[in-house]
Homo-oligomer: A and B are copies of this chain.
Amino acid sequence: MTFVQRLATGAERIEQHLAEMLAKYGPQKGSRLNAAMAHALLGGGKRFRPFLVIESAALFGVPIESALDAAAAFECVHCYSLAHDDLPSMDNDDLRRGRPTVHKAFDEWTAILAGDALLTLAFEIMASESAHADPVVRAQMVALLAKAAGGRGMVLGQMLDLEAEKRNEPARPSADHIRHLQGLKTGALIASACEAGAVLGAASSVQRDALRTYGENLGLAFQIADDLLDAEGDAATMGKAAGKDAAAGKATLVDLIGIENARAQLAEAVRCAEAALAPFGERASPLIQAAHFAAKREH
């Protein structure tokens, strides 16, 4: 099985599990809230974060069935963040994964509430007994997810990103500042998804740190690749408007350091991600491939 097949097979499994979680903990089917949550959560996406949870956990012998709940919780947080970031008062996007964004398919208040409910759902899933038999692990996982998602993680990253954009300053932010905010906005959740696999697998703290380091470099690679795509890509391969960052006056790392330097930093991030996995040997091959995939993806 190639990596792309492995990712696609995982995505199908996750898709099904997300639908089950929505049916189990979400609002009644047929309700507007259920439909809006389903629109935000189901029907597309690479399911990259769940894949990372599952494959990281697999390093420690955790079967996929035992990692699905935690994987789904990470995806709920990711999907809620997309629904809110797309809102008119934030990034004002009409398209997401080639489909109308939640506020376009429904309306603004529905998109806000669907996002709120998905964020809450993530924690309900993570705290449930099916997420892990050991309540210590469940509580740790809730804390890990909350830290990555909240005011010191993803939400702060989105805030800094929008602040820079809305302030419309002539002065450009430094490359360090951009790396910092991207690390929060995109990197924190990716790194924590990898770390979550280690927690599920009752890994040693050394192993947990290794997964974290892998995840941080993976997140960085993911984000540089995204910037490169935005600079070079076109709408067809991205499924969203290209050049959007430039149009929005957003400074990206590519603007500041140039395409060649960005490519070099991307290669270095992939190298560091790979190096962090060295102790796991051959078994880490899906995660190593994931880093290469993140660096080379076209959307």
Interface residues of A (CB under 8 A from B): 25-27, 31-34, 37, 80, 84, 87, 89-90, 107-110, 112-113, 115-117, 119-121, 123-124, 126-129, 135-136, 138-140, 142-143, 145-147, 149-152, 155-156, 158-159, 162-163, 166
Q: Are A155 and B33 in contact (CB under 8 A)?
A: yes
Q: Are A162 and B33 in contact (CB under 8 A)?
A: no
CB distance from A102 to the nearest CB of B (A): 12
Chain B contacts for A136, CB-based, 8 A: 135
Q: Are A120 and B146 in contact (CB under 8 A)?
A: yes
Chain B contacts for A159, CB-based, 8 A: 27, 31-33, 110, 113
Among B109, B119, B126, contact of A162 (Cβ-Cβ < 8 Å):
B109
Chain B contacts for A124, CB-based, 8 A: 142-143, 146-147, 150
Stoichiometry, as copies per complex, reads 2
Name which residue of chain B comes closest to A134, CB basis: B135
| Known pairs A27-B159, A135-B139 / 14 extra A-B pairs, C-beta < 8 Å | A25-B147, A26-B151, A80-B116, A89-B107, A89-B108, A89-B109, A109-B166, A116-B150, A117-B150, A120-B149, A123-B123, A127-B139, A128-B143, A142-B142
Q: Are A150 and B25 in contact (CB under 8 A)?
A: yes
CB distance from A85 to the nearest CB of B (A): 9
Chain B contacts for A147, CB-based, 8 A: 25, 124
CB distance from A167 to the nearest CB of B (A): 10
What is the CA–CA distance of A158 and B27 in the complex, to the nearest angstrom?
13
Q: Are B87 and A151 in contact (CB under 8 A)?
A: no
Q: What are 8 A-B interface contacts by the 8 Å CB criterion? A: A25-B152, A27-B152, A31-B156, A84-B116, A112-B112, A116-B116, A117-B155, A123-B146
Rank and list the top 10 A-B pairs by shortest CB-CB distance, nearest first. Answer: A120-B150, A124-B146, A117-B151, A127-B142, A89-B108, A127-B143, A135-B135, A27-B151, A89-B109, A135-B136
Name which residue of chain B comes closest to A22, CB basis: B151
Name which residue of chain B comes closest to A111, CB basis: B89
What is the CA–CA distance of A281 and B235 in the complex, to the nearest angstrom?
69
What is the CA–CA distance of A31 and B158 in the complex, to the nearest angstrom?
13
